[in-house]
């Protein structure tokens, strides 16, 4: 039987999704029996030119992780879409923007400035910015340009399936891959590698609902009781508004869920859903008291939209379309630091 041609690409990502694939462990042997890896920049030595040269639809399955941050990411998204029969947005960066998309709060210019010049641990007294075209003695080295907004994969190209998670749990990954490999495919556009309902469904902690929260706690501000619901103890846990699939791993480690599996089925805006659930038990009999309790939530956007900002409705407000951030220079050798 013809082996499946499998590609894995990482755009703007941390590498965790690639490690999630490696964590398949012994399953990799089974995978190797049915599939060949034709492109995996993280793990193999294939080149961009090779994949660009392939025929359309010649890749059976591409697992694309990472968000679209640069014009190169966008380029590869388009390339891989053309070359792949099935394109899967793999991991939260690809499905919903994940952590990189938090950069959209302040924008690309701010991110660039902060990372290259203003960060405390950076030494860049002349404030030299990276540029698109670096002239080295050996030739010119192009650097990808930052797009004004970080985007999820599906905002750039049509996506066939999504496997959320930061990273997706390796058991779920194997289940999803097996499903795809076996051809037992659900409707296009479905989310794979998830369990029904939300994390609360898989969480063993006790919940009564008969509490009132008078302040919210950040994880370092107390020691949570391992048997009782974290939200009911005042720690903001994204469990109620997060799709199940990870087996409530973080909660098992006495840490609140942060929402990396994205919103539950049918919910468009994870942050709004979570926010409603979080303010549900608020203690307060006056405006001043309510505001005082809300003040204990540090960074609402980061808390409620930590992984899902790019995919949210909030994100569509005030966001600017635009492609690349023009980066000015063509640096000559003498201008190097």
Partner 1 sequence: MAVQTKLDAHFAQEVMARPGGEHLLTCMACGTCASICLVRRFHPAFNPRRVLHQAALGMREAVLSSEEIWLCSACDACYPRCPQEIHISEVMGTLRDIAIGKGYEAPGPFPEVDRDVCSGCAACARVCPYEAIGPAPDEDDPSRQTAHVDKTRCLHCGLCVATCPSGAITLEEVNEQEVLTRVSAGGWLDQPGRLAGGPEPRCLAFVCQWSVRSDAAWARAERFGDQVRLVRLPCSGRVDPAVILWALGKGVDGVLVIGCDDDECHYQRGTFAGRSKVYLLQEMLATMGYQPERVRFSRQSIYERFGLERSIEDMLQTLGQLPAPVAEQAI
Residue 114 lies near partner 1 (rule: CB under 8 A):
no
Report the residue number, 38 or 293, with the smaller CB distance to partner 1.
293
Shortest reach from residue 317's CB to partner 1, in Å = 5
- Start-to-end CA distance of the chain, whole Å, equals 56
Helix (H) or strand (E) holding 52: helix 48-53
3-state class (DSSP) for residue 149:
strand
Shortest reach from residue 141's CB to partner 1, in Å = 23
Residue 34 lies near partner 1 (rule: CB under 8 A):
no
Distance between CA atoms of residues 33 and 27, nearest Å:
10
Among 150, 199, 230, 250, the residue binding partner 1 under the rule CB under 8 A is: 199
3-state class (DSSP) for residue 151:
strand
Calculate the alpha carbon distances from 225 to 88, 204, 232 in Å: 39, 13, 10
CA angle 231, 214, 230 (to 5 degrees): 15
Using CB under 8 A, which residues numbered 278 to 307 contact partner 1?
279-282, 284-287, 290-291, 293-294, 297, 299-301, 304-305
Residue 108 lies near partner 1 (rule: CB under 8 A):
yes
Closest CA to 304 of 207, 243, 237: 237
Residue with the two structure tokens 């990189």: 100
Shortest reach from residue 161's CB to partner 1, in Å = 21
Among 3, 158, 268, 330, the residue binding partner 1 under the rule CB under 8 A is: 268
Residue 64 lies near partner 1 (rule: CB under 8 A):
no
Per DSSP, the residues of 7-41 read EEEESB--SHHHHHHHTTTTHHHHHHHHEEEEE-T
Among 46, 75, 207, 218, the residue binding partner 1 under the rule CB under 8 A is: 207
Report the residue number, 82 or 327, with the smaller CB distance to partner 1.
327
Residue 209 lies near partner 1 (rule: CB under 8 A):
yes
Residue 229 · residue 207 · CB < 8 Å: yes
Report the residue number, 260 or 274, with the smaller CB distance to partner 1.
274
Question: Quick count: other Cβ atoms within 10 Å of Cβ 167?
Answer: 27
Contacting residues for 33 by C-beta, under 8 A, at least 6 apart:
none
Among 49, 120, 187, 317, the residue binding partner 1 under the rule CB under 8 A is: 317
Residue 266's Cβ-count burial label (10 Å; 0-12, 13-18, 19+) is exposed
Residue 150 lies near partner 1 (rule: CB under 8 A):
no
Residue 107 lies near partner 1 (rule: CB under 8 A):
yes
Among 63, 93, 274, 331, the residue binding partner 1 under the rule CB under 8 A is: 274
How many binding residues for partner 1 (CB under 8 A)? 69
Shortest reach from residue 144's CB to partner 1, in Å = 17
Residue 320 lies near partner 1 (rule: CB under 8 A):
yes
Among 28, 32, 109, 143, the residue binding partner 1 under the rule CB under 8 A is: 109
Report the residue number, 168 or 271, with the smaller CB distance to partner 1.
271
Backbone φ, ψ for residue 280 (5° rounding)? -60, -40
Residue 277 · residue 71 · CB < 8 Å: no
Chain residues in the site for partner 1 (CB under 8 A):
105-110, 148, 196-201, 207-212, 229, 231-232, 239-241, 244, 264-269, 271-277, 279-282, 284-287, 290-291, 293-294, 297, 299-301, 304-305, 312-320, 322, 325-326
């Amino acid at each position: 039987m013809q082996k499946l041609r499998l590609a894995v690409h990482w755009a703007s990502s941390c590498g965790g999704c690639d490690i999630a694939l490696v964590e398949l462990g012994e399953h990799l042997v089974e995978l190797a029996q049915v599939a060949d890896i034709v492109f995996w920049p993280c793990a193999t030595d294939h080149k961009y030119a090779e994949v660009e040269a392939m025929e359309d639809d010649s890749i059976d399955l591409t697992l694309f992780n990472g968000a679209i941050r640069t014009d190169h990411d966008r380029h590869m998204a388009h390339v891989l879409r053309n070359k792949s029969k099935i394109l899967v947005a793999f991991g939260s960066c690809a499905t919903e923007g994940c952590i990189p998309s938090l950069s959209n709060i302040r924008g690309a210019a701010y991110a660039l400035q902060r990372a290259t010049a203003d960060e405390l641990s950076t030494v860049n007294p002349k404030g030299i910015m990276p540029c698109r075209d670096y002239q080295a003695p050996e030739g010119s080295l192009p650097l990808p340009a930052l797009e004004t907004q970080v985007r999820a994969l599906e905002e750039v190209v049509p996506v066939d399936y999504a496997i959320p998670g930061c990273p997706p749990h390796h058991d779920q990954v194997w289940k999803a891959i097996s499903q795809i490999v076996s051809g037992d495919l659900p409707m296009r556009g479905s989310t794979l590698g998830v369990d029904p309902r939300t994390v609360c469904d898989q969480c063993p902690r006790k919940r009564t609902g008969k509490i009132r929260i008078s302040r919210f706690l950040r994880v370092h501000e107390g020691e949570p009781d391992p048997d009782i619901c974290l939200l009911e103890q005042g720690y903001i846990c994204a469990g109620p508004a997060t799709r199940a699939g990870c087996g409530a791993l973080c909660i098992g480690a006495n840490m609140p869920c942060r929402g990396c599996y994205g919103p539950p089925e049918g919910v468009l805006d994870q942050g709004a859903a979570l926010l409603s659930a979080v303010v549900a038990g608020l203690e307060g009999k006056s405006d001043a008291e309510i505001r005082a309790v809300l003040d204990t939530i540090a960074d609402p956007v980061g808390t409620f939209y930590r992984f899902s900002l790019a995919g949210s409705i909030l994100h569509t407000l005030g966001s600017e379309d635009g492609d690349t951030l023009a980066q000015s220079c063509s640096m000559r050798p003498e201008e190097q630091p």
